[in-house]
Amino acid sequence: MTLDISAIRQQFSSLNDASYVYLDSAATTQKPQCVIDRLSHYYQHQNANVHRGSHHLTAEATQAFEQARSLVASFIGAASEQEIIWTRGATESLNLIAQSWGRANLAADDEILVSETEHHANIVPWQLVAEQTGAKVVKIPMTAQGEFGWEAYTELLNTRTKLVAVAHMTNVTGARLPLEAIIPLAHQTGALVVVDGAQGIVHEPVNMVEMDADFYVFSGHKLYAPTGIGVLYGKKQLLDAMPPWQGGGKMVEKVSFEQTTFTGLPGKFEAGTPNIAGAITLAEAIRWYQSVTVEDRERHLHQLQQLAYQGLSQYEDVRVIGYQPNASILSFVVEGVHHQDVATLLDQQGIIVRAGHHCAHPCMDAFGIQGTVRLSFGMYNTIEDVKKFITALDKSLSFF
């Protein structure tokens, strides 16, 4: 394997000499030093608002801010930089679509198909807009293995379907949804497709022109960037037709008490002072991320997952939920033991994992459980991390 994990790990000051093993990257990743340094550089040397003023600091900040937009457009294969809208994260992006496109286009008896495997952020906004418009949210049941229910989808899709909301990859099991089949079938009935890429963008190259999703959203903090910055991609013709969601400065051309006119894309959806530092450091995180090949990165993550799976498989009372080979996530339960108790004992031994429903209540309900313990790996994790986890789990299980 050509990936130098030791060299990668040295770039993460939060993990150097740390007394813990971090196995919660699906929730948020740790940040490489170059990202931290770029954040500091902006506030130390470029701190100014963008698209306002005539001094050199605002010119430098605006240039870096828009260069970041251009890099993101290239990173996801968008046809135009105008299709990239800055948001606080995937959650805000989904709410923007629901409140702008949804309120303008949905009506009574229209249907929104939502996969049962979705994160709450890709369920609740559609429920809210359905209440506002009279539309109906329809569940696409998952399979017993926790994968996308293709047969159910084909049966539910009909002329009343206006929108299909699915994840690129799920945050509970790491299952990848068959977007190549889901999207064109939805388009055949005239429905649009929203893809929550919060998990998928970290593990798979995307090209919006080829994928043909109508909307695609993701958060920077899962992609080794800071919190509070996210991206909404939308096809230009759709964004052009959508009304603004929030009003304020920067998103207007002219304001009077008689009439307000709005600026074009992407500014129409970026009211107020944006997260300038977040956008700039997201670009830095993407540059860092692209310094490692997809093949090397995913091979490493899959190896860690396989080692962890082998370790879990030796315990009769441990059940892996919806196991997906070649993923970066493992969710499991210990029979007769609450998931939070397992995570607490692991934490006391310096092993950081996620325990709970993972903001996916419907998925948990379908599995017939209240929650799981979830391991999720980042590029900085090592084989030694997995060994420490298994040792700590063995000690925890002996306690129970």
Q: What is the pLDDT of residues 281-317, one digit of tens each?
A: 999 999 999 999 999 999 999 999 999 999 999 999 9
Same domain as 373, residue 297: yes
**pLDDT computed for residue 54 by the predictor:** 86
Last residue of a domain, one of 273, 289, 305: 289
Q: Is residue 254 included in any domain, yes or no?
A: yes
Q: Is residue 31 included in any domain, yes or no?
A: no
Q: Is residue 338 included in any domain, yes or no?
A: yes
Last residue of a domain, one of 234, 255, 289: 289
Same domain as 271, residue 393: no
- Domain CATH number, residue 135: 3.40.640.10
Same domain as 394, residue 352: yes
Last residue of a domain, one of 227, 256, 289: 289
Same domain as 13, residue 124: no
Cβ contacts of residue 64 below 8 Å, gap of 6+?
Answer: 42, 46, 280, 283
Dump pLDDT digits (tens) for 18-44. Answer: 899 999 999 999 999 999 999 999 999
Q: Is residue 30 included in any domain, yes or no?
A: no
- 18 vs 207, higher pLDDT: 207
- Domain CATH number, residue 306: 3.90.1150.10
- For residue 12, which of 383, 387, 382 has the smallest C-alpha distance? 382
Q: Is residue 205 included in any domain, yes or no?
A: yes
- For residue 303, which of 387, 186, 234 has the smallest C-alpha distance? 387
**For residues 341-346, average pLDDT:** 98
Same domain as 159, residue 124: yes
Q: Which domain holds residue 260?
A: 36-289
Same domain as 105, residue 10: no
Q: Is residue 28 included in any domain, yes or no?
A: no
pTM score, whole prediction: 0.97
Distance CA 367, CA 377 (A): 23
Of the chain, the percentage scoring pLDDT greater than 90 comes to 95
**pLDDT computed for residue 176 by the predictor:** 97
Contact between 355 and 373 (Cβ < 8 Å) = yes
Same domain as 62, residue 15: no
Cβ contacts of residue 389 below 8 Å, gap of 6+?
Answer: 21, 23, 308, 311, 346, 351, 353, 375
Domains in the chain: how many in total? 2
Catalytic residues: 359
